[in-house]
Amino acid sequence: MSTSAASPTPSTGESHHSDAHGASESAVHVQDLHKCYGDLEVLRGIDLDVAPGEVVCLIGPSGSGKSTLLRCLNLLETPQRGTISVGGYTVTDPELDVDAMRRRVGMVFQQFNLFPHLSVLENCTVAQVKVLKRPAAEAKRVALANLERVGLNEKASQRPAQLSGGQQQRVAIARALSMDPELMLFDEPTSALDPETVGDVLAIMRGLAADGMTMLVVTHEMSFARDVADRVVFMDGGVVVEQGPARDVIGAPQHHRTRAFLSRVLDPTAVAAPEQADDADAAPPAGDLTD
């Protein structure tokens, strides 16, 4: 279980690529990560490694720090302390080329974040042309291939407002894939969707996992986590409380806080008995942390 630790040895900042122990073997390497908003400590010493090709699902109650952790990985949030390595880049290096690092990382957000004034095809080509400097014809070819992959190539000329929420999220996935990422980050990609469209998005994600894409997924979809993830990480109160193979954590959790969370998620009508206040291994309360 990860808890707050002593301050790490300061980085020399001399290299854009990580020399941290274990980082070279990991697609993602996080060590002693802390993130605060004022006096509120949202991440309290997170340690996490994700191997190339591994699918890791982050689960836990709202306010546990899951989304904040995901956003720190590509510097949408700046941590106060700790080390992050993604794709060989030390994200926490002050000399980091942020654009170069982000070219390796695709992120799919809860609210799609498509450009409303652009067509579906343009949403999937604009970053290829501006960031990757691809010729327009090649960018179009790549975009159409990825739109076909998510089953939406016939929607290429439409605007996002003409699509359902599930279709918009599938376009967002195609847009991210069009940048040829080595790592995909999903921040609760189905939480804003109608229940009837959730399965379509999860099917795309299952296909990516089967193809060997490295994925870090914040989700409340326990069946997806159990069936697709190689590993499940349960967070609460800004720390990693429990992690392990998906079927072990979800099917036979060891920590009482994990058991309590899963019992409510898997059976929302159940009312759990209060935990003993003096439980020695109790996780810190989540409070009002930012998820």
Integer Cα distance of 58 and 151 in angstroms: 27
Residues in the chain where the model's pLDDT stays below 70: 1-24, 270-291
For residues 107 and 169, the answer to whether their CB atoms sit within 8 Å is: no
pLDDT at residue 271, rounded to an integer: 60
Extents of the domains making up the chain: 28-111+183-266
The predicted pLDDT at position 268 comes to 76
**C-alpha–C-alpha distance, residues 7 and 226, integer Å:** 35
Contact at 8 Å (CB) between 235 and 65? yes
In contact, 85 and 32? CB cutoff 8 Å: no
Cβ contact 35:43 at 8 Å = yes
pTM of the model: 0.83
Question: What phi-psi label fits residue 53: left (phi over 0), alpha (psi between -120 and 50 degrees) or beta?
Answer: left
Structure tokens at 162: 């003409």
User: Rounded to an integer, what distance in angstroms lies between the CA atom of residue 101 and that of residue 82?
Assistant: 18
CATH class of this structure's domain 28-111+183-266: alpha beta
Q: 67, 74 in Cβ contact below 8 A?
A: no
Say which residue the tokens 């343009």 belong to: 122
3-state class of 82 per DSSP?
strand
CB 285 within 8 A of CB 44: no
Question: Rounded to whole angstroms, what are the CA distances from 182 to 54, 129, 138, 239?
Answer: 11, 19, 20, 26
The confidence score (pLDDT) of residue 273 equals 52
The set of residues, in sequence order, having a beta carbon less than 8 Å from that of 172 and lying 6+ positions away, is: 108, 109, 112, 113, 114, 189
Using the 8-state DSSP alphabet, how is residue 233 labeled? E
Quick count: other Cβ atoms within 10 Å of Cβ 44? 21
Which amino acid, 64? S
